[in-house]
Amino acid sequence: MSIEVNASVTVAGHPDAVFTEAAGKVENLARFFTGYAGIIPGIREARLEGDGVMRAGALRRVQLSDGSVIKERILRFEPPQIHAYDMVEMNTLQKLLCTNMESTWRFSPTGAGTRIDWHYRIDPRNGLVRPLCLVVARLFERAMQRCLNNIAEACRA
């Protein structure tokens, strides 16, 4: 049974600009995703592989602050509404706990700007690791919220 985690924020700005800042510039991921509590590493660097074009099917290589590298596959890239991806290569902790992780970011216009809803589905490897996976998932949820708050702050500046 999957574990679901969510974070959301309302950001000042039009969905086109907010989407571009949050999801359209791969290099911004290192600015925004800083990790949490020493267990969830931040992003040190992210880049697209191949021709470098962000689109469904593209691969994103992400170097984390703990030195590990993960690869994400873009599942949907529909500016300014949806950015979704899953894991192609996970780091050691993810491999021990999960069979896959899938993420969806949704951008919706609101009276105050743009609401970003970030949803992650984590598939635990088995019932034995599920309790630990639940703990890590809650820490990851805090890292997600921190990331969205960083995006909101950047859009205010």
pLDDT at 37 over 90: no
In this prediction, residues 22-40 reach a mean pLDDT of: 94
Cβ neighbours of residue 122 closer than 8 Å, sequence gap 6 or more: 2, 3, 4, 5, 97, 98, 101, 133, 137, 140
Place of tokens 């191949």: 50
pLDDT per residue as tens digits for the range 55-65: 999 999 999 99
pLDDT at 88 over 80: yes
Domain extent, residue 115, equals 3-156
Q: Where residue 147 sits, what CATH number does that domain have?
A: 3.30.530.20
Which pTM does this prediction carry? 0.95
pLDDT per residue as tens digits for the range 93-150: 999 999 999 999 999 999 989 999 999 999 999 999 999 999 999 999 999 999 999 9
Q: Angle at CA 134, nearest 5°, toward 128 and 140?
A: 135
How many domains does the chain contain in total? 1
Residue-averaged pLDDT of the chain? 96
pLDDT at 31: 96
pLDDT at 14 over 80: yes
pLDDT at 49 over 90: yes
pLDDT at 112: 82
- Rg of the Cα trace of the chain? 15
